[in-house]
Amino acid sequence: MKFLIPRTNLSDLLFMVSALSVFIFAPAQTSNWKQIQAVHFNQVEHPEASEPVIVFHCIDWIKDTLPSYDLDFVLNNPSTIGNPGFVESPKVTTNDPQIIPNAKWRDKKGAGACNYEPVNLEYDSVSNLGYIYARAINGDSTCQTSLFWRDRVEYYSCEDILKNGGIYARIFRRWAAICGGARKDTVQVISFARPRIKDFVFNVNGEEIGHEGFDRVVTYQACSGDKSLIKKEDVTPYVDSYFSSNLKPKPAFIDGKNGKYRVDIQDQDFPICGGIDLNRGWKIVRSLLVFDSCQAAYIDTFRVIIKIGDYKGPAWIKPQQIPEIYTEPQTCTASFYATATDLKQKFGLEVKDCHLGGISAYVEVKDRYVNGVLVAENVWDKLPNSIYNNNTISLSEGHYRLILFAGDACFNTSQDTCEFIVKDKSAPAPICVDGLTVELLPDGNGGGKFTLHAADFIAEGIYDCYGQGPDTNFTGQRLVTHYSINRVGERVDSSQKKLELDCAQVGRVVLIELHAWDTRGKHDYCVTYVEVMDENPKSCHVIVEPGYISGTVSTEGNTNVQGVTVTISGSLSGVFTTNSNGGYSFLIYRPGGEYTVTPKLDKNPLNGVSTFDLLLIQKHILGIQVLNSPYKMIAADVNNSKSISTLDLIQLRKLILGLDLHFLNNTSWRFIDAAYVFPDPTKPWLEKFPEEVYINNLTTNSNGNFVAIKIGDMNASAKVNTSE
């Protein structure tokens, strides 16, 4: 017998001196457990009356038998020390993990059978196998109890295993509690059993168990026959380690150490999907021949089918929203090709596969009609012969779905559906005459007048899918007969069929919009003009000097802005683009009348905008440096919410980064009547500020000046001498 002394250093020496003579161990790997019977287990030392006496207050050990594969993991592993079923172990010494100094403990209900737990615990995620709770009584009350433990393993022969019920080995874990000169010992026995063949299972990644005489079918979806994809855990039977968990599985494979099983593998390889040369995949029939070392014979065979390659049908990737396609103006219907390219372009549909073969489809329509009458809602009817030679039949407006089929070179198929909407996006586009010249007629009151009708400007008839008819063209489209007319810049009104001209327009060219409407209210327009004359004889007898409506567009700093489109409407229609001096001018031939002047410039939103502007807006929001004019505050209101907040910073930053191409709820420039005085300059949105100039009953020249505001530009860095 050898006497083994626990490892220690100088710092532990005084602490352990009383234990060294009695903490006796047999050799670590002996098979003769009787050799250690001379050691007095559960022995209570009897020191002098002044010395403490140690008692085991409670012992909590597992009663389970562990798989033999766990033997090496358990042996001398401090992570297995602690309350059974818990995954925290008491803190050990740095130099010797088998010494637990000052082994204090506390009450804790539910912490194992003893309802105690050690004071200093460390999480290690390993399920514990046992612990003892010892304390010193009598004697010195300052004595601190420490725990020592050591493992000794005893293996059994095949003959012993047959006799002892399958126990492969046992670990004898000796515990010693020491306090001062007192000590008490006990031994925990941990048994390890050799699993039986029927205990071994396969993991859940396989397709099924017991498939035509096979224990497991495993499929590795791949575009080639790459055998390196095979994972041992998928094709090898195992038992669960005692320390396995859902979060941290720990399989013990049948051919692992301490099982006394050997596995010989025999594979039969069968190429799939085109043969060996293409290497597109394999079907492998694997036999796992289990050799039992105790019986010196093969005792069982596991059979596994391993499939590597393309075993799935093509996958359809569909758009997140229902796609829309549009009818052709000439046919009033939509069509497309049932090819991968056209399906992607029209619907955002993609089909993915390693070796894609052909695709096909047919169309179903939602809602059932009989002789044009709706007889059933929310049902799908198949359109017969809806796709021929990969081309769909003509589809009118409605709700449809594609029934999709795809196959690949490995004979896999798939089916899916994709709903879509067919819409008529186009509006009827009128064809205007190339201008008219009209002569005013006397109005009986010393003036002149002329009435223009929408029909005067129609160059030729047009047809549309939703025209009013009844006439149709050769494609079945109906003649459009609904037109309206208005001056350029005025409100569009579908019921306005005529315009009145008078002496105020004499010598002027009036721009006209001619709108064509379909039966669903969609419309488009063309622009033409009318030149107003008063010559033979003159109807307008009052001769007056012409007047002007003019003005300047400039920034808050009085920098003139070039390239602003200024529109006049009311008694006169016209457009003027500001020159390099920021000026505009409209000639008015006749006094009186009502006019509205509106400037507009919505180009290059990044003009004058930089990260420095973000900083200035942020300082204003935080109150560090408040913007000092109402015009700058309006420029900082990027999202036109009539306030300045972090939302403006977000939208401006997205514009700078190129995520947005324009202001989502604002124009690049805003213009305010220069004559307007803000009631409270610190609250520019207290009332609606004027962005147009109104002139009533013009009697002489009139000015309409504007202050230009570049949205997002806080430091007046925008270029103003170009059309930007």
pLDDT at 700: 74
Q: Which residues contact 13 (CB under 8 A, 6 or more apart)?
A: none
Distance CA 144, CA 358 (A): 81
Q: Are 290 and 326 in contact (CB under 8 A)?
A: no
pLDDT at 551: 93
Distance CA 158, CA 156 (A): 7
Share of the chain above pLDDT 70, in %: 87
Q: Are 600 and 692 in contact (CB under 8 A)?
A: no
Band (43; pLDDT cuts 50, 70, 90):
very low
445, 597, 689 from 631: Cα distances, Å: 48, 20, 11
> Nearest to residue 707, comparing CAs of 670, 669, 672, 666?
672
Write down the architecture of domain 436-533 according to CATH: Sandwich (2.60)
The answer, yes or no, to whether the previous bond of 319 is cis (omega within 30 of 0) is no
The class (CATH top level) of 315-423 is mainly beta
SS3 assignment, position 368: strand
Q: Specify the DSSP class assigned to residue 69.
A: G
> Nearest to residue 578, comparing CAs of 547, 550, 607, 606?
550
Q: Torsion over CA of 603, 606, 608 and 612, rounded to 10 degrees?
A: 160
pLDDT at 675: 93
pLDDT at 278: 79
pLDDT at 722: 62
pLDDT digits (tens, 9 = 90+) for 215-248: 899 999 999 889 999 999 999 999 999 999 888 8
Q: Are 18 and 181 in contact (CB under 8 A)?
A: yes
pLDDT at 339: 86
> Nearest to residue 492, comparing CAs of 513, 468, 464, 520?
513
- Beta-strand runs (E) in 456-535: 463-464, 478-479, 482-487, 498-502, 509-517, 523-533
Top mean pLDDT of 365-379, 389-403, 453-467 is at 453-467
Distance CA 440, CA 447 (A): 9
Query: If you average pLDDT over every residue of the chain, what do you get?
Result: 85
38, 361, 427, 616, 718 from 563: Cα distances, Å: 110, 54, 32, 28, 13
What angle (nearest 5°) sits at the alpha carbon of residue 83, between those of residues 78 and 88?
Answer: 55
Is the pLDDT at 204 greater than 50? The verdict is yes
Q: Are 439 and 535 in contact (CB under 8 A)?
A: yes
pLDDT digits (tens, 9 = 90+) for 520-536: 899 999 999 999 887 76
**Residue 445 burial (CB < 10 Å; 0-12/13-18/19+)?**
exposed
The Cβ of residue 34 has, within 10 Å, a number of other Cβ atoms equal to 8
Band (46; pLDDT cuts 50, 70, 90):
very low
Q: Specify the DSSP class assigned to residue 641.
A: S
Q: Are 653 and 696 in contact (CB under 8 A)?
A: no
SS3 assignment, position 471: coil
Q: Which residues contact 436 (CB under 8 A, 6 or more apart)?
A: 452, 456, 457, 528, 529, 530, 531
pLDDT at 640: 93
Topology, domain 544-724: Immunoglobulin-like (2.60.40)
The Cβ of residue 126 has, within 10 Å, a number of other Cβ atoms equal to 22
Q: Are 416 and 317 in contact (CB under 8 A)?
A: no
pLDDT at 140: 57
Band (51; pLDDT cuts 50, 70, 90):
low
pLDDT digits (tens, 9 = 90+) for 448-487: 889 999 999 999 999 998 899 899 988 888 999 999 999 9
Distance CA 150, CA 98 (A): 7
Mean pLDDT, residues 346-358 taken together: 90
Share of the chain above pLDDT 90, in %: 54
Band (82; pLDDT cuts 50, 70, 90):
very high
**Residue 414 burial (CB < 10 Å; 0-12/13-18/19+)?**
middle
Distance CA 257, CA 20 (A): 35
pLDDT at 120: 87
User: Is the four-CA dihedral 163, 165, 167, 171 of positive or negative sign?
Assistant: negative
> Nearest to residue 510, comparing CAs of 458, 569, 459?
569
Find the range with the poorest average confidence among 112-116, 513-517, 677-681: 112-116
Region(s) of the chain under CATH 2.60.40.10: 544-724
Mean pLDDT, residues 327-349 taken together: 87
Mean pLDDT, residues 347-353 taken together: 92
Band (647; pLDDT cuts 50, 70, 90):
very high
Find the range with the poorest average confidence among 36-50, 93-107, 542-556, 652-666: 36-50
Between these two residues, 57 and 230, which has the higher pLDDT value? 230
Q: What is the DSSP string of 149-171?
A: EEEEEEE--HHHHHHTTSEEEEE
Q: Are 355 and 223 in contact (CB under 8 A)?
A: yes
pLDDT at 35: 30
pTM here is 0.55
pLDDT at 420: 94
